[in-house]
Amino acid sequence: MGQETGPYRILGRVCCGGFGRAAELAGVKVRALLVTLLLQANRAVSLDRIGQALWEGEPPRSATANIRSFVHRLRADLHDPAHLVSRAGGYELTVPPDGADHLRFERLAGAGRASLRAGDPAGAADLLGAALRQWHGDHAAAGVPRNGPLRSWLDHLDDERERVVEDLAEAYLELGESRAALRDLRNLLGSAPARSRGWALCMRAYQMTGELHHVADVYQQAEAAYERDLGVPLDSELERLYLRIMAERRTP
């Protein structure tokens, strides 16, 4: 489950409201408008950019009038309507640093990675775990069509969540908690089977437990995933890691 961080939530279904009363907005276009403004928080977003995000292909002639209507409906649902302001040729949503779950996620993820690089896996695990608790689903802005700029923005958030799962597994391995690492990695690779780093971490975790037969299983699963999902041979670094682990097993 995600943890309430402020009025705005997009790491899963799209909600807004005060603490403890977040509610899903009615209307997919209104939700898409909120997501667009949140992903460009504290910056003016042009009507053209909003139109690209709200409609697939060419926006209708009535796009400007429709956007104004969506803005009016969104203001009625905001915790503080004054935060959504008109700018020359567009709109801006002002959001404090922890006023949205994706902003808090990004801050915690950055701090967790910094701790991992600094050699503090325990601190990293705490921060990265807190970052993942901001999510209440596997995909950002669930149910919102990824039109125009929303595709790259939301795909980036989804990819960042997967990277944080891997970062957390790395921290667990450094702490000697291989079972915790495997739990998170198995969930990740079940939904994102083409992540090379995830497979590598999974092999390392099983190496740490001494279950080398599972290392071979993971290698074969990775090979199958690459062939099935990417249509390419397995990443050469994964092959080298597998061979190195197997060679260490045979070393007296």
pLDDT tens string, the chain, 252 residues long: the values are 344 456 899 999 998 864 444 567 879 999 999 999 999 999 999 999 999 999 998 999 999 999 999 999 999 888 788 899 999 999 999 999 889 999 999 999 999 999 999 999 999 999 999 999 999 988 999 999 999 999 999 999 999 999 999 999 999 999 999 999 999 999 899 889 889 999 999 999 999 999 999 999 999 999 999 998 888 889 899 999 999 999 886 554
The residue among 115, 147, 175 that closes a domain is 175
CATH of the domain at 247: 1.25.40.10
Looking at the structure, do residues 14 and 132 belong to the same domain, yes or no? yes
CB atoms closer than 10 angstroms to residue 251: 5
Residue 12 has φ and ψ, to the nearest 5°, of 135, -135
pLDDT of residue 19: 43
If one counts the domains in the chain, the total is 2
Question: Do 86 and 194 fall into the same domain?
Answer: no
- The answer to whether residues 194 and 163 belong to one domain is no
Provide the pLDDT for residue 17. 65
Both 251 and 157 in one domain: the answer is no
Distance from C-alpha of 7 to C-alpha of 69, rounded to nearest angstrom: 22
Judgement on whether residues 153 and 189 belong to the same structural domain of the protein: no
Task: Verify that 121 and 218 share a domain, yes or no.
Answer: no
Question: Side chain identity at 239, as an amino acid letter?
Answer: E
| Phi, psi for 46 (deg, rounded to 5) | -70, 155
Give the range of the structural domain holding residue 226, as residue numbers without chain letter: 177-252
Same domain, 215 and 148: no
At residue 4, the pLDDT reads 46
Same-domain check for residues 78 and 31: yes
Q: Does one domain contain both 143 and 127?
A: yes
Torsion of CA 65, 71, 76, 80, to 10 degrees: -150
Q: Give the CATH number of the domain where residue 89 resides.
A: 1.10.10.10
Which pairing describes strands 15-16 and 84-87: parallel, antiparallel, or unpaired? unpaired
Separation CA 171–CA 235 (nearest Å): 23
Q: Among residues 213, 203, 212, which one has the least CA distance to residue 181? A: 203
Residue at which a domain ends, from 157, 175, 193: 175
Domain match, 108 and 42 both? yes
- Co-location of 11 and 81 in the same domain: yes
The pLDDT value given to residue 250: 58
Task: Look at residues 175, 202, 226 and tell me which one is the last residue of a structural domain.
Answer: 175
Q: Are 201 and 170 in contact (CB under 8 A)?
A: yes
One domain for residues 202 and 223: yes
